[in-house]
Each structure stands twice: as C-alpha cells, then as structure tokens.
Amino acid sequence: MTNEIKLDRRFFMKGASAAALLGSVLSTSKALAQDSGHMMSMSMDYNLDDEYNRIGFNNAKWDMIIAQNPDVEVKYPMGVADMDFKTLPQVTRALRKRLMHENWGYELPPVDYKDNIVAWNKERYNQDIPKDNIVNCIGVLDGVLSILKAFNPGKSKVLIHTPGYSGFFSVIHEAQVMEVENPLKKVNGRYQMDYDLMEKQLDADNIKILLFCNPQNPIGNCWTANEMRKMGDICNKRGILVIADEIHCDFVNKHAKYVPYASIGKEYAMNSFTLKSASKSFNLAAHRTAYMFSDNKEYMDRVVASGHQRGLLNIMGLIASNEAYKHGAKYMDDMQDYMDANAHFLEKTCKDRIPLIKYKVHEGTYLTWLDCSALAKKIGAKAEAEKQTASSGKDVTVGDVLNKWFLKEAGVNVNAGEHYGKNGVGYMRMNLGTTRKKLSDALTSIENATKAL
C-alpha cells in the first residue's frame, strides 16, 4: 500500500508541517482542476485525489485484467465499471463496527433501509417510490432476470437500444430469450432513439419487453422526459413491458439532468419496473446489493410469485447501502463534480493532443464512448481482424484489435465497442472512475503511442 493523506480533523492538529503538506495537496488538485476549467471540492473526511494500490485484493478491474494479459504491462485498467476511490467513510465505519460484533447468526436488514431508499430518490430526484413495492435483489441484472422469467410468455423476444449495456445480452440469454437490437441514431453528436424502427420491430417481432438504460451505458445519454414518453407511448399501446436499469442515475454531468422513467406519468409507472443500487454510486459492487420496484403492486407480486430469490441479502451489503443513502449526499455531489471535470479533461486532451480519438462530454454515467474509428483505420484494425478471424476460426472484431493495441502500446485497458451492439464498431468504452492523475497519465501514454504511429 502507498502512504495516503487523510484530510480529517486529526490531520489539521499536526502543526505547521501538516499545513504545508495540505497546501501542496490543495495546490496540486487546484492545478489539475483548472486544466479542465473546473474546480474540485474537498472534504474533511476524504480526498478524491488520494492514490492507493488496489492490486492484490482479487478485484476484477485490476487483478483480473492484469492476469488475463501476462504479456503486457497493464498500467491503467479503465474498462471494468467500478471506481478507484475509497467509498464513503461512514460506510467503512459502520462495517467495522458490525464486524467487531463477531457473531453472524440470522440478521434482519436495517430497520430504516427502505425509508432511506425512498428519501434518497425523493430528495435528489423528486421521485415517489412506493416503499411497500421495493424488493431486494442480489444485483440489477439478477432482478432483470427475475422479471424476464416472470413476464416472458412463450419465450418472446426483448428489445434493447444499442449501443447498450453488454450485460443485457448475457442476462437475456440466461432467461432463454433472444434480443432484438434497436440501433440508436447519432444526430449532431448525440444518440437518439429511432422510433419509426422501434414501431416496426415491435409490430413484426414477437417482442413483449423493452429493456433500456437511463442514463444509457455506454453512450451516456440521460434520456429526457419527452424522449421516454414517446418510447413509453409506443410500448404501452402495444402492451410492451418496460424495464428501466437506472443504476447509473447518480452520475450526471453538469449540463444534463436525470429524469426517472417512472416519474414521467402514471401510465408509464404502472407498466414498468425500475432497478437501482448504491453499488455504482458508492463503489459497493462487491457487496452484491440492489433493489427493484414498480408502482404496479400486481407486477411486483408476479415477480415474487414466479420464484424471485428471497429479500434477505448479505447483511454487510445492506448496512453499507443504508449508510450510503443516509450520509452520502455530499460525497455524491463531490463525485459528480469530479467526474464532470474528468470528462472535460478528457475532451480537451483528445482535441488538443490525441486527434485520432474523438470525444464530446457525455451526459451521465462515469463511462465514456470514444470514437476510435480514425485510430482503427490508422493501425489497419479491420484488415487485421479479418486476418486473425481467418487464421484462428474465431470471430475477432475491430474492437478486439484496438483493445490489444491500447494494452500493448499504451498499457491501457478499454472495452471493445462491439460488446455493446453491432453498431459499436470503431468505438471503445473508457471508465473515468479514477483519479485525475491516473487519467492524465493514461492519456499521456495513449498520446505517445499515437504519435509513434
């Protein structure tokens, strides 16, 4: 582990040397922020610029990617969608307190857990979630799987917007269903829903469910109320159930706004499910804790009756999520500011120093959708993918070739665009959930690699 600077009250009591060190940290953070035209906030309990070593704790973002690529030095894993920051300090304190009890018999969830879920969504998004309709699930995709099984008459198909979350493909197949891709259209740099095609697909195919992200992973759209109402009207008219994965809702850049799907009108709320979790917002994915709800009580009863797992989850995950929702508002505000600044830093760096990669600040999530088509052309990725496919008998994509190039030449891991749909060719997904220093160093490494071409 590297040494860390902890900005708490005890730190400020250590005299002039501490004051000098703090001044240095603040100056560094301020300089980085000014590079992108944004100022980052500080807290007495945490500093989002803190660097510490995650390697060796069996995590997927670092340890798994390093193990999978033994022939290269992976310095900057920026694929797997978790963050390199410490979680909310109150979460850690609560878990330590519970750990010291040293008894692990049957235990109930925190008595105020659902109340805090309701309060969080009401205070931040003015959304009224029916408390009695909240059902726990191990993860968002596990909840989606239960819904698909309960509302899948005759093995019908599921419509998804692409580029869309790669996990949707796997969970749809786990439910023994097939997906139908509805490709999003890029208009003036922003993706839009193709409503005409959506209507044709819903009329022609045996589709009973529409599954979508809000905000959309990986492209970053925060869908507007009007966009979602038009989509919802098309679905409601045909009796199509809407499932909204809104796990990234707490990450919204400053120029955008998140609107919950279930908040746009009663008719939409009554024909939909929403799934959320504290796991993205507070980096709690390892705790495997999420929740789902619908304003339609009959819908919730149907999912539970169809065999959805019991609502008692890992107690540590429930404690962690509860503390996050009770005490995490300032932390989340700071995190949003930091991600917004990271996004602007990335945009400026690509424009000024890496012209082979195009990026415009997105709206939501801490994930970015990089247009690497010029880079792919420069390195001959299409021809190389075809060559490797022919020689190996395996389907090698342009994104696979780009991924290997980023790893070998820059030590950066980013995700192939084809993982998110057929229209992801030439794009790569990069995770901004890291410190500004790591992001800056990774971009410098990419810059140097492109200049060597």
Instruction: Read off the pLDDT of residues 357-370 as tens digits, 9 standing for 90 and up.
Output: 999 999 999 999 99
pLDDT band at residue 309 under the 50/70/90 scheme? confident
| pTM exceeds 0.95 for this model | no
263/207 Cα distance (integer angstroms):
24
d(CA 140, CA 160): 16
Q: Which residue has the higher pLDDT, 14 or 157?
A: 157
Residue 352 has pLDDT above 90, yes or no: yes
CB of 274 within 8 A of CB of 260? Answer: yes
Query: CATH says 98-327 is which class?
Result: alpha beta
**What is the CA angle 271-146-217, rounded to 5?**
75
Q: CA–CA distance from 412 to each of 13, 53, 393, 417 (Å)?
A: 40, 17, 27, 15
- Type of residue numbered 363: E
Q: Would you tell me the crossing angle of helices 436-451 and 16-35 to the nearest 10 degrees? A: 50
Write the pLDDT tens digit of every residue in 362-399.
999 999 999 999 999 999 999 999 999 999 999 999 99
pLDDT at residue 102 above 70?
yes
User: Where do we find the tokens 């969080």?
Assistant: 120
Q: What percent of the chain has a predicted confidence (pLDDT) above 90?
A: 85
pLDDT in tens, 322-344: 999 999 999 999 999 999 999 99
- The values of phi and psi at residue 273, to 5°, are -120, 150
Q: Model confidence over 45-61: pLDDT tens digits?
A: 889 998 888 999 899 99
Mean pLDDT for 149-170 is 93
Give yes or no for a contact between 298 and 142, defined as CB atoms under 8 angstroms apart: no
Token pair for 354: 């890496």
- Reference 157, options 139, 182, 140, 138; nearest CA is 182
Are 246 and 228 in contact by the 8 Å Cβ rule? The answer is: no
Question: Which two three-digit tokens encode residue 206?
Answer: 């045996």
Positive or negative, the CA dihedral 284, 285, 287, 291 is: positive
The alpha carbons of the chain give a radius of gyration, in whole angstroms, of 22
Query: Residues 289, 313: contact at Cβ < 8 Å?
Result: yes
Tens of pLDDT along 431-442? 999 999 999 999
Place of tokens 């999520």: 321
The amino acid that residue 320 corresponds to is A
**What pLDDT score does 34 carry?**
47
- Listed in sequence order, the residues at least 6 apart from 344 whose beta carbon sits closer than 8 Å to its beta carbon are 36, 37, 38, 361
Domain ranges of the chain: 57-85+331-451, 98-327
Among 109, 114, 150, 107, CA closest to 134: 114
Residue 129 pLDDT exceeds 80 = yes
Categorize the per-residue pLDDT at 205 as very low, low, confident or very high, splitting at 50, 70 and 90: confident
57-85+331-451 folds as Aspartate Aminotransferase, domain 1 (3.90.1150)
What are the pLDDT digits (tens) for 16-32? Answer: 333 333 343 334 444 44
If you average pLDDT over each of 10-14, 26-30, 443-447, which comes out highest? 443-447
What letter does residue 109 receive in the DSSP assignment?
P
